[in-house]
Amino acid sequence: MSARLWLVVPAAGQGRRMGADRPKQYLPLGGRPVLARTLERLFAALPTSRLCLCLDPEDSYFDSSWVPFADWRRAPGGGERVDSVIAALAAIAPDAADDDLVLVHDVARPCVTVDDLVRLVAALAEDPVGGLLAAPVADTMKRDDGTGRVGATESREGLWHALTPQGFRFGLLRRALHEALSRGVRVTDEASAVEAVGQSPRLVAGRRDNLKITHPEDLALAELVLFAQQQAVQAGSSTPEASPTGANST
Ligand SMILES: Nc1ccn([C@@H]2O[C@H](COP(=O)(O)OP(=O)(O)OP(=O)(O)O)[C@@H](O)[C@H]2O)c(=O)n1
Ligand SMILES: C[C@](O)(CO)[C@H](O)COP(=O)(O)O
Ligand whose nearest atom lies closest to the CA of 188:
2
Residue nearest to ligand 2 atom 10, measured at CA:
188
Over its length of 250 residues, how does the chain's per-residue pLDDT go in tens digits? 468 999 999 999 999 999 999 999 999 999 999 999 999 999 999 999 999 999 999 999 999 999 999 999 999 999 999 999 999 999 999 999 999 999 999 999 999 999 999 999 999 999 999 999 999 999 999 999 999 999 999 999 999 999 999 999 999 999 999 999 999 999 999 999 999 999 999 999 999 999 999 999 999 999 999 999 999 988 887 654 445 544 333 2
Q: Is the CB of 12 under 6 A from ligand 1?
A: yes
Are the CB atoms for 245 and 233 separated by under 8 Å?
yes
Q: Is the CB of 46 under 6 A from ligand 1?
A: no
pLDDT of residue 31: 95
202: amino acid identity, one letter: R
pLDDT of residue 238: 67
Could you tell me the distance, in angstroms and rounded to a whole number, from the CA of residue 1 to the centre of ligand 2?
A: 33
Could you tell me the distance, in angstroms and rounded to a whole number, from the CA of residue 2 to the centre of ligand 2?
A: 31
Residue nearest to ligand 2 atom 13, measured at CA:
214
pLDDT of residue 237: 75
Could you tell me the distance, in angstroms and rounded to a whole number, from the CA of residue 80 to the centre of ligand 1?
A: 7
CA proximity to 91, closest of 21, 164, 6: 6
Site to probe by mutation for ligand 1, drawn from 18, 81, 181 as the one with most ligand atoms within 8 Å of Cβ, is 81
Could you tell me the distance, in angstroms and rounded to a whole number, from the CA of residue 11 to the centre of ligand 1?
A: 7
Ligand whose nearest atom lies closest to the CA of 15:
1
d(CA 211, CA 219): 10
Give Cα separations from 61 to 12, 122, 126, 195 (angstroms).
11, 35, 39, 35
d(CA 221, CA 211): 9
Give Cα separations from 238 to 46, 114, 181, 229, 231 (angstroms).
19, 11, 42, 8, 9
Give Cα separations from 55 to 221, 222, 249 (angstroms).
25, 22, 27
Based on the number of CB atoms within 10 Å of its own CB, is 16 exposed (0-12), middle (13-18) or buried (19 or more)?
A: exposed
- Sorted by where each starts, the structural domains of the chain and their CATH numbers stand as 5-234 (3.90.550.10)
pLDDT of residue 248: 32
Are the CB atoms for 112 and 41 separated by under 8 Å?
yes
Q: Is the CB of 113 under 6 A from ligand 2?
A: no
174: enclosing H helix or E strand: helix 170-182
Tell me what ipTM this predicted complex has: 0.98
Q: Is the CB of 100 under 6 A from ligand 2?
A: no
Residue 244: alpha-carbon gap to chain centroid = 15
CA proximity to 51, closest of 69, 77, 75, 78: 69
Q: Is the CB of 205 under 6 A from ligand 2?
A: no
Which of ligand 2's atoms lies nearest the C-alpha of 189? 1
Are the CB atoms for 166 and 188 separated by under 8 Å?
no
Could you tell me the distance, in angstroms and rounded to a whole number, from the CA of residue 45 to the centre of ligand 1?
A: 23
pLDDT of residue 243: 53
